[in-house]
Amino acid sequence: MPETIHDRDLRINELEGRIDTLTSGATCPICKTGKLSVSASHAHPIFGDFGVQERTLKCDTCSHIEKRLYDPDGVTKKR
């Protein structure tokens, strides 16, 4: 019986990790297994004065690189 509980706990931990990866919004769109992390960040050339940043993200598995806007105050959203 303890082995079954141990196996179940391992499986639960594995599934929780997969859920975190898939729901964090940071899964690589290319390989679908890696996590994207910010490798560079600078003020956006047009909206930088308003707090908008342009971030470079890199996958830790396949080395995919992409740029994204980071707009914490919603400056670039339509009203």
For β-strands 65-70 and 36-43, DSSP reports them as: unpaired
Show me where the domains of the chain are located: 2-70
What's the predicted TM-score (pTM) here? 0.61
- Can you tell me the mean pLDDT for 60-68? 92
Q: What is the pLDDT of residue 24?
A: 64
- Mean residue pLDDT of the chain comes to 85
> Which residue bears the tokens 């707090």?
51
Residue 17 has pLDDT above 80, yes or no: no
SS3 69: strand
Please write the tens of the pLDDT for every residue from 19-53: 765 666 688 999 988 888 888 999 999 988 988 99
Residue 78 has pLDDT above 70, yes or no: no
